[in-house]
């Protein structure tokens, strides 16, 4: 049976997540049995939005979801992972090395301490409420850049709350893995 390189790498990535998770909690222990369906498949949704992109920044990368999944599925894409936790950054570097990914770099620092990255595209998954996420996004996006934010069932109230202090254009795309979740495409972010 022929298995694509992408499928092999995603399977290896799942093995690494399971191996490291007990020590540093990369995903909720309750969801370890669902790494492929809940975490990797969920993160693969971002890949469709990366078609034609040349660079991508993933903030609060944690266990590499969606950043490493994106780097695996789009090998021509230059991916920057920003993660402040030293242990999670060590995991990310180990995964990059063991998976043979040469299109990824890791910045181990707090998002707000990293010099602005000027990213064309930026993603975050399970990181922070939208008002705070927008402050991170505006810092690291190119003014013409787009944020791709994976949000759960409370996404609509978060959008309304964010509009108190921020002006932005938003489109929502339903999640294929969770009927209550969406991927928000946000551009034109400006503080009120």
- Report yes or no: 144 and 169 within 8 Å, Cβ to Cβ: no
Is 60 assigned to a binding site?
yes
Phi/psi of residue 135, nearest 5 degrees: -65, -35
Beta bridge partners of 122: 57, 147
Residue with tokens 């503080």: 191
Q: Is 65 annotated as a binding residue?
A: yes
The reply, when asked if residue 41 is annotated as ligand binding, is: no
**Tokens linked to 122:** 């930026």
Confirm or deny that 111 is annotated as ligand binding: yes
Q: Are 167 and 192 in contact (CB under 8 A)?
A: yes
Residue ranges of the annotated binding site are: 60, 65, 111-112, 125
Residue ranges of the annotated binding site for S-adenosyl-L-methionine are: 60, 65, 111-112, 125
């Amino acid at each position: 049976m022929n298995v694509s390189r992408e499928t092999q790498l995603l399977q290896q990535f799942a093995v690494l997540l399971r191996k490291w998770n007990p020590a540093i909690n990369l995903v909720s222990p309750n969801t370890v049995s669902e790494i492929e369906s809940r975490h990797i498949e969920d993160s693969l949704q971002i890949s469709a939005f990366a078609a034609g992109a040349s660079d991508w920044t993933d903030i609060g990368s944690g266990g590499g979801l969606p950043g490493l999944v994106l780097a695996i599925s789009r090998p021509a894409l230059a991916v920057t992972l920003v993660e402040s936790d030293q242990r999670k950054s060590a995991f990310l570097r180990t995964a990059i090395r063991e998976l043979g990914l040469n299109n990824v770099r890791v910045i181990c620092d707090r998002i707000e301490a990293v010099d602005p990255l000027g990213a064309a595209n930026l993603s975050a998954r399970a990181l922070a409420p939208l008002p705070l996420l927008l402050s991170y996004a505006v810092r690291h996006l190119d003014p013409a850049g787009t944020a791709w934010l994976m949000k759960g069932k409370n996404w609509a109230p978060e959008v309304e709350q964010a509009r108190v202090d921020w002006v932005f254009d938003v489109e929502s795309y339903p999640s294929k893995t969770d009927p209550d979740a969406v991927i928000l495409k946000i551009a034109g972010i400006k503080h009120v």
